[in-house]
Homo-oligomer: A and B are copies of this chain.
Amino acid sequence: MAVDTTTIFQHGTLGLLVPGLYDGTITAGELLTHGDTGIGTLNGLYGEVIILDGHAYQAREDGQIREIAADETLPFASVHFEKPDASADLTPMSQADFEAQMLKDYQLQNMFAAIRVDGTFKKIHTRVAPRQQRPYKTLVQATATQPEFKGEHVTGTIIGYYAPHLFQGATVGGYHLHFLSADHQLGGHLLGFEIDQATVKVQRFADFKVHLPIDNTAYLQEQFDNQEIDSAINKAER
């Protein structure tokens, strides 16, 4: 079967994590039928998910990284089938310079794009969301105290997305990047990085498909607040 390389498939919304709808509503096995590359979180907001080359990994709050089994579930994830339409070699640069350069070079502003950076990094700074127990805290509460991890001279891969700011709430407007080191010793949601030598691959998408958990009663009944979601994403996901 030919896979669709022009669509980002997203299960759930970033917005549903905000009030604490952390129950997994798609299996990793099903998710991987929609893409071989991406990011997400597991049932219970348990860690950070990094999907590369068809394998889904969990970075846990204890610093461990392991491959996710097909029957584990996720409340939120974005995936795509990798087929970059551009790539470039990068010289040493800061995160801010990198993000500004990608926006400019690839005119990302109003577009969905996957960003993958393979190489060596002078600095990597990640956080990992800690597993939640019911009754679930809100996303801002749950991520108020979370382990952070730092590495220097790390070889690995940044993977994630750029989304138009219009889609803030449905997803993260702007960049949403995760990291996994080549030796699987460091990973998580990226808070900061500094590139040494790397290659960036950019894949631009005409299509963004959101799949909602419409069989989940808690989701259907939640009273969402757009302002609260916007504010919470800016606090918890930047």
With both chains docked as a complex, state the minimum distance between the C-beta of A90 and any C-beta of chain B, in angstroms: 23
Interface check A41, CB cutoff 8 A: no
Which of the 9-residue segments A44-52, A105-113, A138-146 touches chain B?
A105-113
- A199, CB-defined interface residue at 8 Å: no
A166, B15: Cβ atoms under 8 Å? yes
A209 on the interface (CB 8 Å rule)?
A: yes
Contact check, B212 vs A209: say whether CB atoms are below 8 A apart. no
A109 to B216, CA, bound (A): 13
Residue on B nearest A108 in the bound complex, by CB: B220
| Cβ-neighbour of A212 out of B165, B170, B208, B214 (below 8 A) | B208
Check if A219 is an interface residue, CB within 8 A of chain B: yes
Give complex CA distance A13, B224 in Å: 21
How far apart are the CA atoms of A222 and B165 in the complex, in Å? 12
Contact with A168, one of B13, B207, B221, B226 (Cβ below 8 angstroms): B226
Q: Please count how many residues in chain A sit with their CB below 8 Å of the partner chain's CB atoms.
A: 32
* A109:B220 contact, CB within 8 angstroms: yes
A69 at the interface (CB under 8 A from B): no
Minimum CB–CB distance from A46 to chain B (whole Å) comes to 23
A210 interface residue per 8 A CB criterion: yes
Contact assessment for B166 and A166 in the assembled complex, using a CB-CB cutoff below 8 Å: no
Q: In the complex, are the beta carbons of B166 and A224 less than 8 A apart?
A: yes
Indicate whether A207 sits within 8 Å of B210 (C-beta atoms), given known contacts A13-B166, A220-B109, A226-B165: yes
Is A211 in the interface zone, CB < 8 Å from B? yes
- Complex partner residue of A112 from B167, B212, B226, B229, CB under 8 angstroms: B212
Q: Tell whether A164 is near chain B: CB-to-CB under 8 Å.
A: yes
- Cα-based distance from A204 to B167 in the complex (angstroms): 21
A74 to chain B, nearest CB (A): 15
The answer for the CA separation of A21 and B169 in the assembled complex, in Å, is 23
A224 to B210, CA, bound (A): 21
Q: List CB contacts (< 8 Å) of A147-203 with chain B.
A: 164-170
Q: Which of A23-80 contact B (CB under 8 A)?
A: none
Q: Beyond A166-B229, A224-B166, is A208–B209 a contact (Cβ under 8 Å)?
A: yes
Other A-B pairs beyond A109-B221, A208-B210, A209-B210, 17, CB < 8 Å: A7-B209, A13-B166, A107-B220, A109-B220, A110-B212, A110-B214, A111-B212, A111-B220, A112-B212, A165-B224, A165-B226, A167-B170, A168-B226, A204-B214, A206-B211, A207-B210, A207-B211
